[in-house]
Structure 1
Amino acid sequence: MSAQKDCEFLVKRARELVSEDPCAAKAWLITARTLYPADFNIQYEMYIIERNAERTASAGRLLYDMFINFPDQPIVWREISVITLLDVVTGLVPPNQEPTKTPEDQARVKTKARKGNDLRLLPCTSKAVLPFCLQLMLACFKLRAFTDSRDDLALGHVVVLLQHEWPQGEMLFLKAVDKICQQGSFQYENFFNYVTNIDMLEEFAYLRTPEGGRIQLELLPNQGMLIKHHTVTRGITKGVKEDFRLAMERQVSRCGENLFSVLHRFCINEKIIIIQSLP
C-alpha cells in the first residue's frame, strides 16, 4: 500500500469512529500524524474534529499550526475567512484597510442591500489575518497565565500579545503585573526581543525600584549565568542591575518600531515554543 493510500485509510478510519468513539478516532489521527507529519489532510481532519466538538483551544492550536506549515493550502484560508466573517470579530480588519473590490463586486453590493449588520470578508493576506491569530493565541495563553499555578512563559506571551490594539488590553496587563508582584519574581528571556510598548516598559522598570517592590526580574537572555559572573551586594546583583538599565534604555529607543513587524517576528521566530506552551 502506498503512503498516500495509507494516509487515506487512517483518515477514513478516524471519520468512521468520530461519532461512536471520539477518543479512538483521535488516537488514529495522532498515529497518522506521527507517521506522516507532512500530510496536510491528516492535520486538517484533526482540526475538523476538534472544531466540531467545540474544543476551541485545541482547534485554534491546530489551525495556527496549519497556517504556519501549510500557508499555500486554500482550505486553511477558507477556514480563517469563515471565522473572520462574523461581526463578533470586528476590529480584526486594520483601520482604513478595506478589501479591494472589482466593479462587479461593487455592483453586487449595491444590488444586494442587507438589513442589519453586513458581513465582511477579509483579504487573504498576513496583514489581515495576523490580528486574528494574535487574538486566538491570547485567548489560549490566558488560560494558563492566570491559573493558581505559576507559568511565567505563558504570562510573558500574554504581555507580548497585549501590545496589539493597546490600550484595549491595559486592564489585563495590570492583572499580569499584579500576579508578578504576588510571585515576587518573573522570568521571561524574550522580553527585550518583543516588548516595545512604552507603558509596559515603564511599568517593568518601576517593579525594580524600592517603591515597586524590588521585584526580581529575569528578562535578559542567560541572566542566570550572568549573575554568577557579577559581584553581589546585599542580595542585589550590581552588574546585572546595570545590564538591565542599559537594556531598558535601548528598548525605549525601539518604541517607534513597527509593532506589526515585531509581532510577526514573534509568531515566526518563536513558533516552536509557542506551540509547546499552548494549553
Structure 2
Amino acid sequence: MSAQKDCEFLVKRARDLVSEDPCAAKAWLITARTLYPTDFNIQHEMYTIERNAEKTASAGRLLYDMFINFPDQPVVWREITVITLLDVVGGLVPQNQDPVKNTDESGKDRNKPRKGNDLRLLPCTSKAILPFCLQLMFACFKLRAFTDSRDDLSLGHVVVLLQHDWPQGESLFLKAIDKICQQGSFQYENFFNYVTNIDMLEEFAYLRTTEGGRVQLELLPNQGMLIKHHTVTRGITKGVKEDFRLAMERQVSRCGENLYTVLHRFCVNEKIIIIQSLP
C-alpha cells in the first residue's frame, strides 16, 4: 500500500469513529500525523474534528499549525477568512476617525524578520482588526482575480480592497486595469457603493473614453435593465453614458468619506456574497 493510500485509510478510519468513539478517532489521527507529519489532509481532519466538537482552543492551535506549515492551501485561508468574517467583522463598530498612523518604531518592527512560529496578537479594536480582515480577504481573492480565466466578481472585490493602504497597491490596481482592458468589458454592480478613491475613479472614467479603449463597464445596479430601457426611450449610447456620468460625479463628491467606514460597510453588507465567492 502506498503512503498516499495509507494516509487516506487512516483518515477514513478516524472519520468513521468520530461519532461513536471520539477518543479512538483522535488516537488514529495522532498516529497518522506521527507517521506522516507533512500530510495536509491528516492535519485538516484533526482540525475539523476539534472544530465540530467546539473545542476552540485545540482547534485554534491546529489551525495555526496548518497556517504555518501549509500557507499555500486555499482551504486554510478560506477557514481563516470565514471565521474572521462571521465572528469578528459582523461585530465591528465603524470608526469615524482615521486609523492611527504607524510610528517609526512600529515600522522598524514590521521590517524585522519574523520566525515561523511567531504569534501575532491584536487588540480587540476595530482599528486593529479591520485591516487584518481586509488583508485576509485580499489574499483570498487575489489569485482568482488575476488568473487567466475571467472572474469579474473577485476582481471587483480586489479593487475595493486595494483602497486600503493606498497607494501601496497602485501597481496591482494598474494590473487590474490592464486585465479589464484586455477583456474589453467589466461588470461589478457594487462599484459605486464602495469605490471612493479618486485615482481609481479617474482610471475607470478614462476606460470609457476613446483613448481608454471604450471599455464596456457595467458598474451600476441593474444596468442590464437600464440598457433595455434606454434602447426603447432615449437610445442606448446617450442614456447609458449620461447615467454613468452622473454616477461618477456623485462618486467624486464622496471621496472625502472615511475610508474605514466605507470598507467596514463593504464587509458587513456584502458578507454573504463575499463568503459565497471565496475560492
Q: Which runs of 5+ in 2 are unaligned?
A: 1-17, 90-98, 115-119
Task: Give me the whole-angstrom Cα distance separating, in 1, the residues matched to 2:263 and 2:204.
Answer: 19
Structure 1 residues 18 and 250: alpha-carbon distance in aligned structure 2, compared to 1, 3 A threshold: farther
Matches within 5 A, 1:66-215: 66-71=83-88, 94-95=100-101, 122-215=122-215
Structure 1 residues 14 and 261: alpha-carbon distance in aligned structure 2, compared to 1, 3 A threshold: farther
Task: Give me the whole-angstrom Cα distance separating, in 2, the residues matched to 1:54 and 1:185.
Answer: 36
TM normalised by structure 1 equals 0.70
1:32: Cα distance to partner? 8.4
For these two proteins, the number of residue pairs brought into alignment is 236
Task: Give me the whole-angstrom Cα distance separating, in 2, the residues matched to 1:45 and 1:261.
Answer: 32
Structure 1 residues 53 and 229: alpha-carbon distance in aligned structure 2, compared to 1, 3 A threshold: same
Task: Give me the whole-angstrom Cα distance separating, in 2, the residues matched to 1:189 and 1:209.
Answer: 20
TM normalised by structure 2 equals 0.70
Matches within 5 A, 1:23-62: 23=41, 26=44, 44=60, 47-48=63-64, 50-56=66-72, 57-62=74-79
1:162: Cα distance to partner? 0.8
Task: Give me the whole-angstrom Cα distance separating, in 2, the residues matched to 1:44 and 1:70.
Answer: 14
1:225: Cα distance to partner? 1.9
Match of 2:95 in 1: none
1:15: Cα distance to partner? 4.4
Match of 2:26 in 1: 12
1:258: Cα distance to partner? 0.4
- Checking the alignment, whether the CA contact within 8 Å between 1:208 and 1:217 is kept in structure 2 is yes
1:69: Cα distance to partner? 2.8
2:230 partner SS: coil
Task: Give me the whole-angstrom Cα distance separating, in 2, the residues matched to 1:248 and 1:260.
Answer: 21
- Checking the alignment, whether the CA contact within 8 Å between 1:188 and 1:218 is kept in structure 2 is yes
1:204: Cα distance to partner? 0.5
What letter is aligned with 1:270?
E
- Checking the alignment, whether the CA contact within 8 Å between 2:195 and 2:201 is kept in structure 1 is yes
Task: Give me the whole-angstrom Cα distance separating, in 1, the residues matched to 2:100 and 2:232.
Answer: 48
- Checking the alignment, whether the CA contact within 8 Å between 1:145 and 1:158 is kept in structure 2 is yes
2:150 partner SS: coil
- Checking the alignment, whether the CA contact within 8 Å between 2:85 and 2:267 is kept in structure 1 is no
Task: Say which is worse superposed, 19-28 or 187-196, in terms of deviation.
Answer: 19-28
Q: Which runs of 5+ in 1 are unaligned?
A: 73-92, 99-113
